[in-house]
Chains A and B, each alone.
Chain A
Amino acid sequence: MSNAVQHNSSATPALKIERLSKTFELASGLLSRKTTAVRAVRPVSLEVQKGETLGLVGESGCGKSTLARMLVGLLPPTTGQIEIEGKALDTANPAAFGRLIQYVFQDPISSLNPRKSIRQIMATPLKRLHGMDKATREPRIREIFASVNLREEFLDRYPHEFSGGQAQRIGIARALAASPRIMILDEPVSALDVSVQAQVLNLLSDLKQQYDLTYVFITHDLAVVEAVSDRIVVLYFGAVVEVGPAENIFKMPRHPYTKLLADSAPVVGRPLAAPDTSHAELPDPLNPPAGCAFASRCPRATALCENSEPHLRSMGDDQFAACHHPLED
């Protein structure tokens, strides 16, 4: 399955991850040396092309934030490796990652240090990652600030004086200041009001053009991810269950879980219908099932699903699904 998620392009991908996984060890008791392992992310292999926006969707507990934190080096992976533009990054050192890949946080206010002025916050990546002196920093800060549509006088204010939308622009500006090649956007608009959400999404799309960026966009909101992404990856219980072009994946899902997601999203004009699964619980991470993690909720599950874990395989048209009994059109 490691070669499964290839894009039909031969150029060096902007981001390539190979069999990246994370297992957390939990101490089971105060005195016992025994530990229990929780596999937060099962081996995931992905490629993101230059200039692409890859959407990453999944519900809480699917491992999307753990994956994102590994991508920027905030969390050392248990196995696997990360390559950015052909170069492997094998140290879990955020500073080494920082020049190539940056992160925009979900909660804009808590991602800004309440005791630092915006100018200080903006100056840090320029100073620490690029060694700029004060004279070269200032025009650069002003330039970035203008590109996220914020007024220069905001630079001398403190984070609590800003609304959520403005704070998120500052968070984006800080990430841009590192001049990264790739930005990981972790639920960048889910804390924002809908009218502000659209402003930030449009800003992100403009910045991508302007700075020639590649995005990994993580969210739980299917409508948002469909509106911004080129390709979408669906995660369930720490593993990729489906990958495909954004315009098709929710219209013609191959994996029953993707279909469940698409059917559950509230849409104007569609009547309310409860999904016909008896329980909507994730499997117990301490006692994971042997086969497909979705089998207990899946209407198509058979004995095969209970016992053997399905791997990603091609479903045609750049779409891949990890399912023994994929849906047909």
Chain B
Amino acid sequence: MIAFLKLLFRNKLAAGGLILFGLVVVLAVLTPILPLANPDATATGDRFQPPFSPDHVMGTDHLGRDLLSRLLWGTRLSLAVGFVAALLAAFLGSAIGIVAGYFGQRTDNIIMRLVDMLMAFPYILLALAIVAALGPGLVNAMIAVAAVNIPFFARNIRGVTVSLARREFVDAARLAGMGHLRIIVFELLPNVAPVIVIAMSTTVGWMILETAGLSFLGLGSQPPQADLGSMLGEARSAMITSPHTSIVPGIMIFVIVMSINLLGDGVRDALDPRLRSGALTRPSAATLVDRGRAPAQDEAPSDQDLLSIQNLSTEFRVGRRCYRAVREVSLQARAGECLGVIGESGSGKSVTALSVMGLVASPPGVITGGAVRLRGEDLLGADYERLRSLRGDKVAYIFQDPLSTLHPLYRVSDQLIEAIQAHHAMPKAQARRRALELLEAVQIPNAESRLSSFPHEMSGGMRQRVSIAMALINDPDVVIADEPTTALDVTVQAQVLAILDDLRRKRDLAIIFITHDFGLVAQLCDRVAVMYAGQIVEEGPAKDLLERPAHPYTKRLMACVPELGQGRRQLEAIAGLPPAVDQLPDGCAFAPRCDKAQPSCKTGLVALRQNVDLPRKVRCHFPEEVA
């Protein structure tokens, strides 16, 4: 609740709206005990007194009634009617929406078509018709306004419910023996409630206006009872001669509706979970770099290294917390080499990959140290234009989910041609030929006809081949593949891997292959780096490292993974969880889970040391015997 208010007050307009609206509500609540004149007492001798006259601060109306008193009593009534109408509409509309969304199919179809019919009438006409049928009066106007707004709630809530009702927790509740009514009330409603509140907060103002509108037409509150709409209606004839009689209620309506709308927008933003995580703040085009000074060309990077990552550190700064996702990672990739980066989720492997081209979302990501050199050129110090010219041209990415990386509304050919033309001025026909060539290279059957397909017309394996073709289309030097086969079936995975392996040999590509699967690393990679809690804990030639892991983490992690052909067995699990990267332990990050840990492991830093006997770097005081 406190977090909610904080978020709400971060929005200045919403805070203003809240204060203004609070004042109005306080006045409306206090009206009966304020020393006001009787709002209905007529005094024809005092009619049309101007504002600031001795007995009437706001003047009087055409029957000599005190305007201030009528204004406050009228506001009280309008607010009450508006709120009750909103509650009524929210209750009925949400009930209809939840039922339609939960049961779906025919129930949904019938209910929603009825709601559509209701929506097909102009709302004011519908409200007039309802009042005409029920007879004029404030209660009837309220019913009309509520009825007119039911479809809005029903449609909103149905949409939310449809996506919730397919969630697994609803199935789980059914298996736990809950009936339909219980599921709707106890499982769905608590999840839908924020949406109902949001919808209400944005519509209350509107409903107050509609009620005022009906009263203005004489269909709402009946004389002498005052509400804002009827005050305006009665003042209409004197608009020219005594403008204050219409201006006073007019301003009040304006203040109420304006403050409610500002407040409602604020409430909506504060309740929206995407805003809480800061996801709607637009990330900058390249990751923020804040590394003091650029490091010197230390460690004499060899000429063979096509891409060299040196002591890269990347953090996420969220509020007061600082997540150190990548800590001093150094990696090198040569032409024609496949470097595997293996680790569990949260180990920093993807953030390392995204940091290379400044693709980590900023805020909250910040690169705090190190360098990324492509043929010796420091990319972290490069300006955005330079980065953009390299992205997708010299360094290309392949991501896990091709469905979210390919644009759903463009044909495959358009996307491939665009990828070429973004970097090279080339006639369209030539670019198209190149696209066709690439689709054939990734072994897409009927490549010619596939060019004009949309992504959704292809299977997952096919789409991932298109993303590989797109990554390779500008003949890059480096391809960074982030779990490219995790979303694929094993038979398709085998094909995609074979294509990648073949292409890197033919084109002398450097591939950085990020995965959590030892089997894939063994089959595809020349060298492998194992990451844990943002650091490299072991690095060396893939075959050798997988046969004789030296770091206890690598060894234990490999023992966790069942391997085909070993039959039924108990697995050797690692107890505990990886540390959260905002609360890293002192010393070795793996020490709390390591059965070889000594007191010396729990203090000070552990360096990544070159093993004397093997081409291997290990970050451990007590590595396994491997020689």
Q: Mask for A61-90, Cβ within 8 A of B = 1, else 0?
A: 000000001001110000000000000000
Choose one: A115, A246, A274; the contact of B191 (CB below 8 Å). Answer: A115
Binds B, one of A43-51, A225-233, A301-309: A225-233
| 16 A–B contacts from the bound complex (CB under 8 Å) | A94-B177, A111-B172, A116-B186, A128-B182, A195-B344, A202-B570, A202-B573, A227-B569, A227-B571, A250-B565, A264-B490, A264-B494, A265-B490, A267-B519, A268-B518, A268-B522
Residues of chain B touching chain A, judged by Cβ–Cβ distance below 8 Å, are 167-169, 171-179, 182, 186-187, 190-191, 344-345, 445, 459-461, 489-495, 497-499, 501, 516-520, 522-524, 546, 556-557, 560-575, 577-578
Kindly list chain A residues whose C-beta atoms are within 8 Å of the C-beta of B490: 59, 220, 222, 261, 264-266
Q: How far is the CA of A275 from the CA of B461 in the complex (A)?
A: 14
A280, B491: Cβ atoms under 8 Å?
A: yes
Alpha-carbon distance between A83 and B570 when the two chains are bound, in angstroms: 31
Q: What are the 10 tightest A-B residue pairs by CB atom distance, in nearest-first order?
A: A266-B519, A128-B177, A274-B498, A198-B573, A227-B562, A115-B190, A59-B489, A198-B560, A111-B168, A264-B494
Q: For the complex, what is the distance from the CA of A227 to the CA of B575, rounded to whole Å? A: 19
1/0 per residue, CB under 8 A from B, across A269-303: the answer is 11111110111111000000000000000000000
Minimum Cβ distance to chain B for residue A9 (Å): 18
CB distance from B375 to the nearest CB of A (A): 29
CB neighbours of B569 from chain A (8 A): 227
CB-CB under 8 A from B572, the residues of chain A are 198
Q: Which residue of B lies closest to A263 (CB)?
A: B494
- Chain A, residue nearest B343 (CB): A193
When distances are taken between beta carbons in the complex, the residues of chain A under 8 Å from B489 are: 59-60, 220, 280
Residues of B within 8 A of A69 (CB): 171
Distance in angstroms from B577 CB to nearest chain A CB is 6
Which A residues are CB-close (under 8 A) to B344?
193-195
Q: A98–B175 contact, CB under 8 A?
A: yes
Given the known interface contacts A195-B573, A220-B489, the answer about A265 and B564 at a Cβ–Cβ threshold of 8 Å is yes
CA distance A228 to B571 in the complex (A): 10
Is A165's CB under 8 angstroms from B523's CB?
A: no
With A and B bound together, what is the CA distance between A112 and B177 in angstroms? 15
A199 close to B (CB within 8 Å): yes
Q: What is the minimal beta-carbon distance from A29 to any residue of chain B, in angstroms?
A: 15
Bound-state CA distance A157–B557 (Å) is: 30
A7-B91 Cα distance, complex, nearest whole Å: 56
Q: Does A98 contact B495, Cβ atoms closer than 8 Å?
A: no
Which residue on chain B has the smallest CB distance to residue A159?
B169
* Contact A98 B176, beta carbon cutoff 8 Å: yes
Evaluate contact between B573 and A113: CB separation under 8 angstroms.
no
Interface residues of A (CB under 8 A from B): 59-60, 69, 72-74, 94-95, 97-98, 102-103, 105-107, 110-116, 124-125, 127-129, 163, 165, 171, 174-175, 177-178, 193-199, 201-202, 205, 220, 222-224, 226-230, 246-247, 250-251, 260-275, 277-282
Partner of A265, one of B167, B171, B519, B578: B519
Closest beta carbon of chain A to B528's beta carbon, Å? 11
Contact (Cβ within 8 A) B522 A105: no
Residues on B with beta carbons closer than 8 Å to the beta carbon of A272: 494, 497-498, 501, 523-524
Whether B495 and A194, one on each chain, are in contact in the complex, defined by CB atoms closer than 8 angstroms, is no
Known interface pairs A105-B168, A251-B565; A97-B445 also in contact (CB < 8 Å):
no
Instruction: Report which of A72, A124, A178, A201 forms a contact with B571, defined as CB distance below 8 A.
Output: A201
Q: Are B176 and A267 in contact (CB under 8 A)?
A: no
A197 to chain B, nearest CB (A): 7
A198 and B571 contact, Cβ closer than 8 Å, known pairs A115-B191, A174-B172, A193-B516 = yes
Chain A residue nearest to B461 (CB atoms) is A280
Apart from A94-B175, A267-B564, 11 more pairs, CB < 8 Å = A103-B172, A195-B556, A198-B572, A198-B574, A201-B573, A223-B563, A246-B567, A251-B565, A266-B490, A267-B565, A272-B498
Chain B residues whose C-beta falls within 8 Å of the C-beta of A268 in the assembled complex: 518-519, 522, 546, 563
Bound-complex Cα distance A282 to B459 (A): 9
Contact of A196 among B563, B567, B577 (CB under 8 A): B577
Residue of B nearest to A103 (CB): B175
Q: Which residues of B contact A197 (CB under 8 A)?
A: 560-561
Please tell me if the beta carbons of A74 and B560 are within 8 angstroms of each other in the complex: no
Question: In the complex, are the beta carbons of B171 and A103 less than 8 A apart?
Answer: yes
A198 and B574 CA atoms in complex are apart in Å by: 8
Given the known inter-chain contacts A125-B176, A125-B177, A268-B522, please indicate yes or no for A205 contacting B570, CB distance below 8 A.
Answer: yes
Residues of A within 8 Å of B177, CB to CB, are: 94-95, 98, 124-125, 127-129, 178
A174→B489 CA distance, assembly (Å): 30
Distance between Cα atoms of A196 and B576 in the complex (Å): 8
> With a CB–CB cut-off of 8 A, which chain B residues contact A116?
186-187, 190
Asked whether B171 lies within 8 Å of A105 as measured between CB atoms, the reply is yes
Partner of B176, one of A74, A114, A124, A194: A124
- Asked if B175 and A274 sit within 8 Å, CB to CB, the answer is no
Q: Select which of B178, B520, B562, B574 is within 8 A of A226 by beta carbon.
A: B562
A113 to B568, CA, bound (A): 34
* A175: chain B residues within 8 A (beta carbon): 175
Q: How far is the CA of A218 from the CA of B181 in the complex (A)?
A: 31
Residues of B within 8 Å of A267, CB to CB, are 519, 522-523, 563-565
B176 x A174 contact (CB < 8 A): yes
Closest to A195 in B: B574
With A60-B489, A272-B501 already in contact, the answer to whether A194 and B516 are too (CB < 8 A) is: yes
Bound-state Cα–Cα, A325 to B445, Å: 27
Given contacts A128-B176, A272-B523, contact A112 B445 (CB under 8 A): no
Which B residues are in CB contact (< 8 Å) with A105? 168, 171-172
Bound state CA distance, A286 and B501, in angstroms? Answer: 35
Closest residue of A by beta carbon distance from B532: A195
Specify which chain A residues have a CB less than 8 angstroms from the CB of B186 in the assembled complex. 116
In the complex, the chain B residue whose C-beta lies closest to that of A62 is B489
Smallest distance from the beta carbon of A201 to chain B beta carbons, Å? 6
Q: Are B562 and A114 in contact (CB under 8 A)?
A: no
Taking CB atoms, residues of chain B closer than 8 Å to A106 are: 168
- How far apart are the CA atoms of A114 and B194 in the complex, in Å? 13
Contact A124 B557 (CB under 8 A): no
Contact B517 A266 (CB under 8 A): yes
Indicate if the CB atoms of A280 and B492 lie closer than 8 Å: yes
A274-B495 contact given A199-B575, A220-B490, CB 8 Å threshold: yes
Query: B577–A165 contact, CB under 8 A?
Result: yes
Task: Check A280–B191 contact: CB distance below 8 A.
Answer: no
Chain B residues contacting A202 (CB-CB under 8 Å) are: 570-571, 573
Output the least CB separation between B182 and chain A (Å). 8
Chain B residues near A177: list those with CB within 8 A: 176
Contacts of B345 in A (CB 8 A): 193
Nearest chain A CB to B541's CB is how many angstroms away?
14
> Closest residue of chain B to A96, judged by CB?
B177
CA distance A324 to B52 in the complex (A): 102
Question: Smallest CB-CB separation from A58: which chain B residue?
Answer: B489
Bound CA–CA A280/B459 (angstroms)? 10
B459, B494, B574: residue with the most chain A Cβ atoms closer than 10 Å:
B494
B191 proximity list for chain A (CB < 8 A): 113-115
Establish whether residues B523 and A266, one from each chain, have CB atoms under 8 Å apart when the complex forms: yes
User: A74 touching B171 by the CB < 8 A rule?
Assistant: yes
Chain B residues within 8 Å of A226, by CB? 562, 564-568
Name the CB-closest residue of B to A69: B171
Query: What residues of A have a CB within 8 angstroms of the CB of B524 in the complex?
Result: 272
A residues within 8 A CB of B187? 113, 116
State the CA gap A171–B182 with chains docked (Å): 20
